[in-house]
Amino acid sequence: MTTKNSIKRTVPMKKTFAFLAAVVFFFSAKAQSFEIGARYLAESNWFFNSNVSNSGGAPWNVSQNYDAVYSYSYGVHLAYNFSDHVGLETDVQWASLSQSYNGSFQNVGMLPASSGPASVYYGGESYRSTVSVNAVQIPVVFRFLAGNGAYFGLGPEINIVGNANYSATYKGGPVPSQSYGVGNYFASSYFDAVLSFGNNIRISHSFFFNINLRFNYDFTDMKGVDALGQNLKSGSLYSGSQPFYSSYQTTNAASAAFGVGLIYRIGHDF
């Protein structure tokens, strides 16, 4: 290697190290604080599917109506505030997400893709059902801070689905109730967009009481089951001379949540 080539290689390396040093200095100077804590969210959760929403017509005449039901999540909160006005937040939340339904059967018939014993239904029979999904939720939210504790955030969230269960009770039919696992019918994961608003209320110098309002919407497809416990991926729902549904439609989760938490802040006070 000649001296000239050595100099050419050394100069870019020096510039690279200088740049990295500047970045480290910048974030060291601007980095204000680190947060760790715990959070609990009470949620109103919905699994929207247009086939379910538009059900009830001929020839099947089976209605499927959405019902509200309580959902929740809890877990660990982490955040890093780069300055008084910008931060990055992530949580690891263990969630129990539920959707309830009610409906009725106008005719006698048999469900084409039911996994439980209540596949046969009678005219005039009614039902109430609930789908419950256990998931791990990991949002990554960019926070914009007002400087007085208030903030809003926006970012993505991955939901990793664990087990899921379908349960139903019936009136006027051959089977009073049924319950079975439907975890295999859901996607293994799906992605949300998250919009959050919050405020850290000071308790002491480093401890804060956090309140948080969060809205989620799934832009992918969580798949799953309908109000009758039928696997929405089953081809038998969309085949035959009189298909139960005309075509496959995605299922998108949406939720609104109110959360509280306790946070310990390390670093600069603002």
State mean pLDDT over 30-51.
92
State mean pLDDT over 139-158.
94
Helix H or strand E encompassing 217:
strand 207-218
Flag whether pLDDT at 71 surpasses 90: yes
**CA-CA distances (angstroms) from residue 82 to 30, 142, 156, 263?**
6, 11, 19, 17
Flag whether pLDDT at 189 surpasses 90: yes
> In the predicted model, what is the mean pLDDT of the chain?
89
* pLDDT score of 270: 57
**CA-CA distances (angstroms) from residue 256 to 3, 111, 139, 173?**
65, 33, 14, 35
Place of tokens 């319950």: 179
State mean pLDDT over 40-65.
94
- Calculate what percentage of the chain has a pLDDT beyond 70: 87
Distance from C-alpha of 65 to C-alpha of 51, rounded to nearest angstrom: 11
Instruction: Mean pLDDT check: name the lowest of 20-29, 74-83, 147-156.
Output: 20-29
Confidence bin at 13 (pLDDT 50/70/90): low
Flag whether pLDDT at 2 surpasses 80: no
* Residue 184 φ/ψ, nearest 5 degrees: -70, -15
Distance from C-alpha of 175 to C-alpha of 183, rounded to nearest angstrom: 23
Count of CB atoms within 10 A of residue 240's CB? 9
- Residue 110 tokens read as 């048999």
Flag whether pLDDT at 20 surpasses 70: no
pLDDT tens readout for residues 222-268: 999 999 999 999 999 999 999 999 999 999 999 999 999 999 999 86
Instruction: Mean pLDDT check: name the lowest of 2-6, 41-45, 76-80, 186-190.
Output: 2-6
* pLDDT score of 27: 47
pLDDT tens readout for residues 88-145: 999 999 999 999 999 999 989 899 988 777 788 899 999 999 999 999 999 999 999 9
Question: Residue 135 gets which letter from DSSP?
Answer: E
* Residue 104 φ/ψ, nearest 5 degrees: -150, 165
Helices (H), the chain: 3-30, 50-53
Entry pTM: 0.83
* pLDDT score of 19: 55
